[in-house]
Amino acid sequence: MTNNIWNTPYSSANGQLLIGKNSNSPNWTTITQGTGTTITSGAGSITINFAAATEKDFVLLSTVTASSSASITFTGLSSTYSIYMIDIYKIDPVDANVFLYMRTSTNNGSSYDNGASDYRWDMYYAEAILGITSLNDTADAQIRLAGDIGAGLNNQGSGTVWLFQPSNADYAKIYCRYKNSTTDETFYSSGMRLAAADVDAIQFFMSSGNILTGIFKLYGLKA
């Protein structure tokens, strides 16, 4: 067969598109990103442009699986990503009815800010019988993300944490949504580090005991 899409087109470079032109040889033309290419046929001509693709989706950067872990940490946060997202799956603590906490670091995890008034947080949680309850603390040693997390495989919970522009010398801000698996409780929390500093590492831990099992996935989103 000739002059159709089944013919093998001539070679093109990376970042180019090939498009069928007409019955004249060669019957393919190359379109390069950022430039205009005019395709002519017996009926007239058309000019086609296409731009280089930009990365706008979350990129998986790291996965950590808890195994009787005192804490889960992620280091190396940078200005490469304007938003970081941490997906948390099937958290099972050693102790029952504990809180999930978060802290930040400005020295890539050598230490984590834990002063008595380093953070503030606000939490709302919804429960079928009790309705909506709010809690907050304007001066705490950590950010509270979720609570009443039970121990045992049937009590595992999951959630998502967002960290906004941590590399800016500003108050690092976070938002969390978390659902306990065997109760009707859903937690919505927000918090911030009460100091204008860049954050390059974060830490998750329980209010008591270790994290027996659980999967933590860190994603980055470019501006």
Task: Tell me the CA distances in angstroms from 98 to 67, 86, 94, 157, 214, one per residue in order.
Answer: 17, 20, 9, 12, 15
> Over the chain, what is the mean pLDDT?
82
What is the tens place of the pLDDT at every residue in 107-138? 999 999 999 999 999 999 887 766 788 999 99
Q: Are 98 and 149 in contact (CB under 8 A)?
A: yes
Q: How confident is the model at residue 3 (pLDDT cuts 50, 70, 90)?
A: very low
Distance CA 159, CA 148 (A): 14
Average pLDDT over residues 4-23: 53
- What was the pLDDT predicted at 51? 56
168 pLDDT above the threshold of 60: yes
Q: Which helix (H) or strand (E) holds 169?
A: none
Q: Give the pLDDT confidence score for residue 222 in this predicted structure.
A: 83
d(CA 109, CA 103): 10
Q: CB within 8 A of 45, min separation 6: which ones?
A: 38, 39
Q: What are the tens digits of pLDDT across the range 65-104?
A: 999 999 999 999 999 999 999 999 988 899 988 899 999 9
Q: Tell me: the pLDDT tens digits for 48-60?
A: 555 555 556 889 9
Mean pLDDT over 166-192 rounds to 88
Report all structural domains of the chain as residue ranges with CATH numbers, in order of start.
16-48 (no CATH), 59-221 (2.60.120)
- Pairwise CA distance, residues 67 & 113, whole Å: 24
Tokens of 162: 């967002």
Instruction: Look at the alpha carbons of 5, 9, 12, 14 in this order and tell me if their dihedral is positive or negative.
Output: positive
**5 pLDDT exceeds 50?**
no
What average pLDDT does the segment 215-223 reach?
92
Q: Which of 1, 205, 223 is nearest to 103 (CA)?
A: 205
